[in-house]
Amino acid sequence: MCLETARLQLRHWREADRDEFAALHADLEVNADLGGPFSRQKSDKKFARYINAQTKQGYSRWVVDSLNGDFLGYAGIMRISESHPLGLHNEIGWRFHRAAWGKGYASEAAKAALDDGFKRLGLEHILSYTSLNNRRSQAVMERIGMARAEEKDFTAQYEGFGAWQGIV
């Protein structure tokens, strides 16, 4: 299954995407909100988690390609476990190569994924969160129609990151 927008194709992960995924996570600036770049091992673990979610739950983050097939990043919904400070929930997120920033791709892809989550998947609630200093993601959240929910802000312990503060 794929989703298509005016400029993008959102599709399921393939093994051939592993190197692009790792390159995306190796970029210091792209991952500044998460404390810096990921090792290949950590990226591969995350890659496996996305594929596993797609297989077991029927949804995950989507690969986002340009219509000519260039890997731009990813966007989509993940089910987050009840061990999270917010409990069991669905979260939409995205991450794009720096070369794709400032072109509206994140908003376009996130909107398509959000619509899919509500319409096809029938989800009632979808959250999004980022770090306080990640103004780019906050702007995407606003552009796709999400509203700030300060009362849900949280601090979580993520493997390899330590304490991370999320704004919802």
Nearest to 108 by CA among 71, 48, 66: 66
pTM of structure: 0.93
Neighbouring residues of 90: CB distance < 8 A, sequence distance ≥ 6: 77, 78, 79, 80, 117, 123, 125, 126, 127
What does the pLDDT average to over 5-10?
Answer: 98
CB burial readout 32-50, b (16+ within 10 A) else e: ebbeebbeeeebeeebeeb
pLDDT tens string 65-110: 999 999 999 999 999 999 999 999 999 999 999 999 999 999 999 9
Position 156 scores a pLDDT of 85
Domain 2-128 of CATH type 3.30.460.40: no
What confidence tens digit (pLDDT) does each residue in 134-154 have?
Answer: 999 999 999 999 999 999 999
The span from the CA of 62 to the CA of 86, in Å, is 23
The full set of domain ranges for the chain reads 2-128
